Chain A
C-alpha cells in the first residue's frame, strides 16, 4: 500500500503540471520586430480564425497586429466557413508538396509519421537558436518538453499550454438545485451514498430523477467514486505505469452495477442515453431533475435561462462524490497541454523555416504572452495597478460575443500559453466557482491517469491498430447500454466473464500491449 502511495505521488509529480506561480518567460524586447523580406503562409485549422464579425484576417486586429509586432508579414488561411475543418485539412495534406509554411491543427499523434514522410521540418537543430524563448519554456517543465518531441527526441512543433495547468481541462462536474436541497434539509453530498440519498429525496418529493446529457457523462461520469476510470466511451488510462482499458476493470463493473440499480429503482432517467445539451433542458426547466453532471458553460446557461423566466438561478456545482471509504481514483481532466500543434512544413525552404520559427517563438516571450492573450498594450489592455493587464473599454464595452477574440489569439487555443486570468475573464462567476469545486480538491487525480497527448505511435503500430481492436469502440458502448438497462445482467458472473472474453476475442490484449509500448517510450523520452 505504501509503495502504491509513493508511486501515485511520483506519477502525480510527473504529470500534473501546475506552474501557476512563477511562469517565467524570456523577454523578446531586443529580438522583435525582426527584419525580413520573407512572407510566411500560415494555415490554422481551428480556434485562431478571425472573430465572426470580420470577413477576413486583414480586418482582424489580432492577425494584422501579429505581423506588426514581430515584423514578419503573414498570409493567413483558414478552412472555408461551413466545411468540416479537419476534412478540409486532409484535403490540403493530400498534396504534401504544396502546403502552407506553418500548419496549426490536431497533428500531434501523427507527428512521427509526418517526420518520417519528410513532410515537416525536424526543428531540433534550429530550436535553441531561432526560437530561444520557446526552447527555454519547454526546458522549464519536463512534462512540456516531453510532449513536444517524438520518441526519437525530435522537436516537431509549437504547442498549446495553459498557464494554470489543468483547471480548464476539468470543465465537467456534478451540479445540484440548491433550493430543493435546502427544502429536503440535506447537506451537499460528499460520498456516493449521500449522493444517492439526494437522488432518492428529490425523487420522493418531486418525482425527479438523476439525468444528464449523455455527451457530458459518456467519458467518465462519476466512475472515480468506484475506483474506475470511465463510463461509456472506450477509455484507456494509465495507473502505476500500466496502461489499461477502463471498461475491463472490476471497478467499472461496480460502477455500472450502481447505475443499473438506480435504473431499476426508477431513479435514473431512462432517456439519458439519448439526451444532448439541448434536449436535457426539457428536463432541467420542467423540474424533472435536480441533480446532474454538466459543463461550466451549460451550468451558466441553465441558470441564465431560469432567470430569463423570472425564476432564481438555483444550479451550482458540487464536489465530485467519493466512495464511502474516500475513494476517488480520478476526475475528468487533463494536464493543460492541448492536442493541437503548429508545425513547419517542408514547403518552406530553410531560410523561410527560420523566419517561421521566430514568428512562432514570439508567443512564448514575455511580450508575446500578453499580446496573444490580451492584444496590444494601450489598445485592448493597460497595465493595472496590481501589475496585471486590465482590459480597456474597447473590449469591456463591446457587446459582441467573445470580443477579446478580435485582439488576442488565446481565447480557445493556439500555439501559445493561455493566461489563467483570461480564463477567469471569459467564464461566469457561478461557472468559475463550480470549476474550483471540481478541480482544486481533486487536482492530484485530474490528469495522472490520462493517456498522454504527446504520445506517438510508430508507423508499424498505427498500421496494426487499423487491423486489431477496431470492434472495441462499437462493443464497449453497446455493452454499457445493455448492462445499465438490464438487457444483460451486470451482477451475473457468467455475463461478466462472457463480456471479458469477448473483449479479449476483439484483441484487447494486443491493443494494450501496443499502447503500453508506446507509453513506455513516452516515459523514456
Chain B
C-alpha cells in the first residue's frame, strides 16, 4: 500500500491523470458535458457570492461596490425575526421529514404486498397523478377548500368543529402544508423504492418461507434491509436540504396572519431581495442557508456510515 503511494507519487498528479486519460479517453469525454454544466451553472455564479460582503448596487456592478465585511450577516442575525425564521424553517422541514419521508416507503411496501397486478397499477397511477398538478393550481385549490364555507370547513363542522377560514389560521398551516405535500408527492417518491424492491433476490423470500417466516417477518428481515441503502442515501440527501423549505409553496399558501408559523428563510429572502431590492442581504441569507445545509449533509452522512455503512461519500 505504502509502496504504491510512493510509486505513483513519483509521477505526480498530472502524470497519473495523463496516463489515466490515455487509458479512458472516451469516459473523460462523456464526463465533459457534466463538468461544463457545473462550471457554468454552479461555479461561475459563485463569483457573485461576494456581494454578501459588499454594499451592492446594480449601477456600480459587483466589482465596483464597496466592501462592508459582515454587516449583512450581523443585520440578519440580530433581526427581530431571525429566531422565528429559524424555528419555522426547522419545524416545517423536520415535520416534512418525519411524516413526508416515511410515507412513500410505507406506500411502496404496501404496494409490494399486493398480488392483484391490476389493482396495484391503478393505485400507483392514482397516487402519482397529484405530482403533475402545478403548485399554483394546488395552492389555489387548497385556498378554496379552506374558505369559511369550503370543503374542509364543512368536514370539520360535520365532526362537531366550528367553521373557519383555515388559510388565515396559524394552527392549521402546518397540517395543511405537510398533508398536501404528502398527497402530492407520495406516489412519485415511491417509484424509486419500488425499483429497489424489485431488485431484491426472490430466493431470499423462499428461504425465509421454508424457515417458517410469515409475511410480516419477511417484510422486517428481508424487504426492509433490502431497500435500506436506498432509504439511507435519500435520507442523507434530504437532510442536506433541511433549510430549503420550498419557497414557492409557502409563498402561495401563507398570508400575513400565518407569518407566525409560515415565514421561513426563503420567503424572507424573497420579500427582502426581490420586493425590497436588498440584494446583499438576501445573498448573505442564502449563503448562511447553504452553509447550514452542508453541515447537516456531512453530519447525516457521517452517522449513516457509522450505523448502516452506506452513505454518499
Are A485 and B256 in touch, CB under 8 angstroms?
A: no
User: Is residue B58 contacting chain A, with contact meaning CB distance below 8 A?
Assistant: yes
Within 8 Å by CB of A466, from B80, B167, B168, B281, lies B281
Contacts of B57 in A (CB 8 A): 113, 117
Contacts of A95 in B (CB 8 A): 61
Least CB distance from A259 to B in Å reads 13
Contacts of B170 in A (CB 8 A): 487
The stretch of A136-144, A378-386, A430-438, A475-483 in contact with B is A475-483
Are A273 and B61 in touch, CB under 8 angstroms?
A: no
Are A114 and B59 in touch, CB under 8 angstroms?
A: yes
Q: A113-B57, A117-B59, A470-B272 are in contact. Are A270 and B80 (CB under 8 A)?
A: no
The A76-123 residues at the B interface (CB cut-off 8 A) are 87, 90, 93-96, 110, 113-114, 117, 119
Are A477 and B272 in touch, CB under 8 angstroms?
A: no
The B255-286 residues at the A interface (CB cut-off 8 A) are 255-257, 259-260, 263, 268, 271-272, 274, 276, 278, 280-281
Are A474 and B278 in touch, CB under 8 angstroms?
A: no
Within 8 Å by CB of A271, from B59, B140, B148, lies B148
Are A481 and B257 in touch, CB under 8 angstroms?
A: yes
Are A481 and B59 in touch, CB under 8 angstroms?
A: no
Are B271 and A273 in touch, CB under 8 angstroms?
A: no
Which A residue sits closest to B80, measured CB to CB? A471
Within 8 Å by CB of B278, from A114, A117, A466, lies A466
Contact with B along A452-475 (1 / 0, CB 8 A): 000000000001001100110111
User: Is residue B81 contacting chain A, with contact meaning CB distance below 8 A?
Assistant: yes
Are B257 and A273 in touch, CB under 8 angstroms?
A: yes
Are A274 and B143 in touch, CB under 8 angstroms?
A: yes
User: Is residue A32 contacting chain B, with contact meaning CB distance below 8 A?
Assistant: no
User: Is residue A279 contacting chain B, with contact meaning CB distance below 8 A?
Assistant: yes
User: Is residue A232 contacting chain B, with contact meaning CB distance below 8 A?
Assistant: yes
Q: A271-B148, A279-B144 are in contact. Are A480 and B59 (CB under 8 A)?
A: no
Are B255 and A271 in touch, CB under 8 angstroms?
A: no
Contacts of B144 in A (CB 8 A): 279, 282
Q: A473-B271, A481-B168 are in contact. Are A93 and B59 (CB under 8 A)?
A: yes
User: Is residue A302 contacting chain B, with contact meaning CB distance below 8 A?
Assistant: no
Main secondary structure of the interface of B (DSSP, over half): helix
User: Is residue A237 contacting chain B, with contact meaning CB distance below 8 A?
Assistant: no
Are A482 and B257 in touch, CB under 8 angstroms?
A: yes
User: Is residue B180 contacting chain A, with contact meaning CB distance below 8 A?
Assistant: no
User: Is residue B10 contacting chain A, with contact meaning CB distance below 8 A?
Assistant: no
The B80-137 residues at the A interface (CB cut-off 8 A) are 80-81
Quick one: which of A271, A463, A475 has the most chain B CB within 10 A? A271
Which A residue sits closest to B260, measured CB to CB? A478
User: Is residue A58 contacting chain B, with contact meaning CB distance below 8 A?
Assistant: no
Contacts of A471 in B (CB 8 A): 79-81
Which B residue sits closest to A110, measured CB to CB? B59
The A218-235 residues at the B interface (CB cut-off 8 A) are 232
Are B256 and A477 in touch, CB under 8 angstroms?
A: yes
A505–B78 Cα gap in the complex (Å)? Answer: 12
Quick one: which of A87, A270, A485, A506 has the most chain B CB within 10 A? A270
A96–B256 Cα gap in the complex (Å)? Answer: 37
Least CB distance from B173 to A in Å reads 12
Within 8 Å by CB of A470, from B146, B164, B278, B280, lies B278
Are B276 and A270 in touch, CB under 8 angstroms?
A: no
User: Is residue B304 contacting chain A, with contact meaning CB distance below 8 A?
Assistant: no
Contacts of B50 in A (CB 8 A): none
A127–B164 Cα gap in the complex (Å)? Answer: 60
Interface size class for chain B? 35 or more
Least CB distance from A132 to B in Å reads 30
Are A274 and B255 in touch, CB under 8 angstroms?
A: yes
Which A residue sits closest to B147, measured CB to CB? A271
Are A274 and B167 in touch, CB under 8 angstroms?
A: yes
Q: A471-B79, A473-B276 are in contact. Are A94 and B58 (CB under 8 A)?
A: yes
Contacts of B276 in A (CB 8 A): 470, 473
A477–B146 Cα gap in the complex (Å)? Answer: 21
Which A residue sits closest to B259, measured CB to CB? A478
Are A485 and B148 in touch, CB under 8 angstroms?
A: no
Least CB distance from A515 to B in Å reads 15
Contact with A along B230-272 (1 / 0, CB 8 A): 0000000000000000000000000111011001000010011
Are A96 and B61 in touch, CB under 8 angstroms?
A: yes
Are A94 and B256 in touch, CB under 8 angstroms?
A: no
Least CB distance from B66 to A in Å reads 10
User: Is residue B218 contacting chain A, with contact meaning CB distance below 8 A?
Assistant: no
Contacts of A466 in B (CB 8 A): 55, 278, 280-281
Q: A470-B276, A477-B256, A481-B256 are in contact. Are A271 and B281 (CB under 8 A)?
A: no
Which B residue sits closest to A286, measured CB to CB? B149
Are B81 and A273 in touch, CB under 8 angstroms?
A: no
Contacts of B19 in A (CB 8 A): none
Least CB distance from B140 to A in Å reads 8
User: Is residue A367 contacting chain B, with contact meaning CB distance below 8 A?
Assistant: no
Least CB distance from A463 to B in Å reads 6
Least CB distance from B174 to A in Å reads 17
A93–B58 Cα gap in the complex (Å)? Answer: 6
User: Is residue B165 contacting chain A, with contact meaning CB distance below 8 A?
Assistant: yes
With contacts A93-B58, A113-B59, A270-B165 known, what are 19 further pairs, Cβ within 8 A?
A87-B274, A93-B59, A96-B59, A96-B61, A119-B59, A270-B148, A273-B255, A273-B256, A466-B280, A470-B75, A470-B281, A471-B79, A474-B81, A474-B259, A477-B256, A478-B257, A478-B259, A505-B80, A506-B80
Tell me the B residues contacting A by CB distance below 8 Å.
55, 57-61, 71, 75, 79-81, 140, 143-144, 146-148, 164-165, 167-168, 170, 255-257, 259-260, 263, 268, 271-272, 274, 276, 278, 280-281
A-B pairs with beta carbons under 8 Å apart, 5 shown: A119-B59, A271-B165, A274-B146, A466-B278, A478-B257
Tell me the A residues contacting B by CB distance below 8 Å.
87, 90, 93-96, 110, 113-114, 117, 119, 232, 269-271, 273-274, 279, 282, 463, 466-467, 470-471, 473-475, 477-478, 480-482, 485, 487, 505-506
